[in-house]
Amino acid sequence: MNVLSNPEKQTRPAPPLLDVRQTAALLNVSDSWVRRHVSELPAVKIGRLVRFDSVLLKNQYSGNVSASGKSLGKAPVVIQRRYQSGSVYKRGKKKVWFGMFREDVRKSDGTLERRQRKVRLGTLSEFPTKHAAMNELQKHLTHNHKPSVEMTFSELVEKWQAVIVPTLKTSTANVYTRSLRSRILPTLGQTSIKKLGRYEVESFLATKSKTYAKNTLRELRSSLSRVLSWAVQCDWLEKNPCLGVKLPNGTGRTITRTVLQSDQVKALAAKLPEPYATLILFLAVTGLRIGEAVGVKWTDFDGEVLNVQRRVYECKADTLKTAKSKRSLPIPSALLVRLKILDQSCEWVFSSGTGTPVNPGNALRRYVQPVARVLGIKLSGWHDLRHTLATGLIQSGVPTKTVSEILGHANVGITLNTYTHPVMENFRAPLKEMAAQLF
């Protein structure tokens, strides 16, 4: 039958063709989603234009499609993973190949956004043909398949503080947050974490070495590494740029510990009022950290044995520094007699006038340091007494393991490397013996 002779076929309207925007509105998706899935939709190409058959769209996809590519209705939409190939082009007098592709970028709020990226591939001499340039681009796309992250170091620190800081001890968290807030964020805060490489870390430490000592530089590197290693665990960075970074030599003031003589300790105690005089003697005999000492209660004594089980940090009772710090020490009877002269009406052994634990900073600044200066004793801080005990015990032949247990160190290496200070007398005997053999 002649089609022209059939009036019904002559008057039947053609199905409406929809453009990208109309199709996106029909499926309840974005325009870019429609462009990415042209090959999977009933599309008609008219030159460079693309139109979609509305009837087939309604029949085939009865439900709305979400931006993730999953159907919200009865008829599922099977969307295959999109493997892009990108494109290449040449620019400049030297004919340099550039690649263009789209990259998934994870924003600081966790959402993904697809953005167009450009990467330099190489010169025409390196890749003489377009096919060679395309192969190089594919290598780049293969190695960079994970979504990149757009986040400044300041935003990373904010997330780290919200998630990780509550899991840390208060003293440890304060060390990190203080370094980050006052010394790192003013310099690196607005830097993208993608641009924080080894060179940037080393340059930062080299600049700070003109102001700070090596111990402070070690603290800065540790704070940086702690935050960036967490970013690696979150898949926001491929690797921690702080790994393997060596510290420069700092020029700032370095704390030098003083090993006191017995006469100097007694002279300090004789000039100080209570409870600071007994506190000096207590630290010199037990080697406790100052926070552990001011955190001792009368109830911690079991006869002559002291059970170290807490410390005071920033005027608040806190857990001990490490698991090894929890220890029991026999207190010599002479020291016990000295302790009993203190006020026992308060629960704290070393208490202030208001019944709170002694404030170590105030006590050192107002009482101990002024007396030490009058006596001509160079005292760096409370920790000098801890170093004094460790050095004296090892020089007396006490096994290093025993000294480490008394001090509550996590391992013997800390005792040997940090708390042992050779004095002139340690050198005299071996040198004298060698001289006797030669002369």
Q: Do both 103 and 222 map to the same domain?
A: no
Q: Do both 142 and 112 map to the same domain?
A: yes
Pair of tokens at residue 56? 């087939």
At residue 418, the pLDDT reads 76
Q: Do both 279 and 411 map to the same domain?
A: yes
At residue 64, the pLDDT reads 46
Q: Do both 116 and 177 map to the same domain?
A: no
Helix (H) or strand (E) holding 380: none
Number of domains in the chain: 4
At residue 143, the pLDDT reads 60
Domain membership of residue 168 as a residue range:
153-233
- Alpha-carbon gap, residue 149 to 135, rounded angstroms: 25
Q: Do both 299 and 170 map to the same domain?
A: no
Q: Do both 44 and 91 map to the same domain?
A: no
Is residue 337 domain-resident? yes
SS3 91: strand
At residue 110, the pLDDT reads 56
Mean pLDDT of 278-298: 94
Query: Residue 215: which pLDDT band, with cuts at 50, 70 and 90?
Result: confident
Query: Residue 109: which pLDDT band, with cuts at 50, 70 and 90?
Result: low
Give the residue carrying structure tokens 């009772």. 317
| pLDDT, tens digit (0-9, with 9 covering 90-100), for 159-211 | 899 889 998 888 889 999 999 999 999 999 999 898 899 999 999 999 999 88
Is residue 375 domain-resident? yes
- The CATH number that applies at residue 43 is 1.10.10
Query: Residue 13: which pLDDT band, with cuts at 50, 70 and 90?
Result: low
Give me the chain's average pLDDT, please.
Answer: 82
Peptide bond into 330 cis (omega under 30): no
Identify whether the C-beta of residue 293 lies closer than 8 Å to the C-beta of residue 395. Answer: no
Q: Do both 175 and 56 map to the same domain?
A: no
Percent of the chain exceeding pLDDT 70 equals 84
User: For residue 100, is pLDDT > 90?
Assistant: no
Pair of tokens at residue 407? 């001090």
At residue 90, the pLDDT reads 87
pTM to 2 decimals?
Answer: 0.59
At residue 9, the pLDDT reads 44
User: For residue 145, is pLDDT > 70?
Assistant: no
At residue 108, the pLDDT reads 57
Q: Do both 309 and 365 map to the same domain?
A: yes
Residue where one domain finishes, among candidates 131, 149, 167: 149
Mean pLDDT of 219-228: 94
At residue 171, the pLDDT reads 85
At residue 157, the pLDDT reads 94
**Long-range contacts of range 97-104, CB-CB < 8 Å, 24 or more positions apart?**
97/121, 97/122, 97/123, 97/124, 97/126, 97/127, 97/133, 97/136, 99/133, 99/136, 99/137, 99/140, 101/137, 101/141, 103/144, 103/147, 103/148, 104/147, 104/148
Mean pLDDT of 135-146: 70
- The CATH number that applies at residue 160 is 1.10.150
- Alpha-carbon gap, residue 308 to 292, rounded angstroms: 7
Give the residue carrying structure tokens 């001090």. 407
Query: Residue 235: which pLDDT band, with cuts at 50, 70 and 90?
Result: confident
- Alpha-carbon gap, residue 394 to 215, rounded angstroms: 25
| pLDDT, tens digit (0-9, with 9 covering 90-100), for 25-59 | 888 788 888 888 777 777 777 667 788 877 777 76
At residue 74, the pLDDT reads 36
User: For residue 251, is pLDDT > 80?
Assistant: no
Is residue 427 domain-resident? no
